[in-house]
Chains A and B, each alone.
Chain A
Amino acid sequence: MTQGIKISLKKDVKDVGVEECAIDTRYSSPKIVSNDSVITGRSGISNPVYSGYNLGSVEYTFPDNPSAGTYTLVTFKHGLGQTPNPIAYVYNYQFPTFRILPMDINFAYDPLQYMYCYATPTEFKIDYVRGNNILFPSPVDVTGYHYKFKFYIFANEGG
């Protein structure tokens, strides 16, 4: 017999499948593991300001006249020992709502479309790739653009 805990949603727990449970410990749920305990270092081209470690949020303002290249907007070592699953939302002060990174690729001149949130076995990063070739049309001047990021880092449940 499998041991564990099962809690149903407003119904007799004997009668429901996993879909109607608050928890069913036969299954794993995505665990958010980003918090201050895993942030061990940070860097950025203009010192991104962290605003609430425990919620995993970061603000970033572009410097004057950024040139072509890859800009790391957010980075830290997660210390999890394997590659986790990152998801980031971005708040654009020019268009004040939250959207998942990356943005729509049809908006060729929106710098958001070239921001990437990713994880490696050791680090979590949000990069912005700025260029001027066919993949990266002549970008708008992002001087002073200000973004706020919220990121979720989920433990890898596989493997």
Chain B
Amino acid sequence: MRSCEKKTGLPKLLKSGILNVMNNIVKSCLKIIPVYFVLMALCLFAATFLYMFYTMCSTIVAGSRISHFTFLHFMHGIILSFPIVLLFAGPFTSFYIIRHRELSLWCLVPFLLVHCALFAFAQPAFLSSVYDQQEKLAPEENIIPPSPGYFRTLGGKYIVYYSSMTDVGVASGILIDTEKATDNLYTFHNTKINTNNEFADSLIFSSIKLPIVINKAIKSFKAWHIVLYNAIMGKKSQWLSFCSVLLPLVAGCLMVKISRWRLVSLIMVMGATILIYVFNLSVLAGGFLAEPFYNANFALTFMDHKCNPLLVLCNAGFLLILGLLTIFFTLRTIKIDEDFADDDSFQTEGRE
């Protein structure tokens, strides 16, 4: 039976015709580019909406309702979510390829080329134009004092109640120190309260505050923005060396056929992307790897130490490992696929 499989493999391919295969490849490639952009647009829209809503909530106080969204909020949402969405648009498109087995593996090539071009050229162009217009895009500084008539906790151990409040945040009311047993209630007036918090009202914040794990992710996104800012505002060579992160990211996206169980492929793509992202961030954004890398960079003299030569090497190393893994497992999967296909055709032929 084994010998039979091997014999039938090659002629079958020839029979279907090279033209047919080419046709399939072109179709796949034409299909995947729109999918890539649609996925990106959807993610961008969702992220922008979430951002806009979160910012609106930061300006409302208990007893008032959400006012309409402004265009400025929308712009901010787009600017902030674009680099993050770009980072994950690659793996998301890979998920699409994993899901639709009929797509040829060749479609990875145009999609990843577009992805790299967006990352390496469109992203810095877009962001540097944003940095130039920073003043125009700055949000208006409005003082929104919390509403009177509600109890709020302040800094974890105080309870505060404003009996009256002016437009500029001068209040009178009560403050309770819950850590003291007696003489712990103070009545005050003519007191200017702190209005520089992220949220105008701590009560609203307590309702929609982010869960710990999500907060960590958001923090890392903020750090990614800073990393991007430094790389874009630095020399050209710095940006180029930063783009070395694309190497392992692209290798991650290639793992679409790494297993016969498509869920495993999906997890591997996502896992690799997150691993590369976290690794680069922990070097570039002052994480636990920042110091050893900083010291080592001086020793590597073939590149300016600001360009992080060690990180470039590491990314190249990741590319190598992930690439080899992908090639090995993908070839194996394709082989098993063919074996099963042959097995099926053999069985049906036998029955006939």
B and A form one assembly: no
Binding site for B on A (CB under 8 A): none
Binding site for A on B (CB under 8 A): none
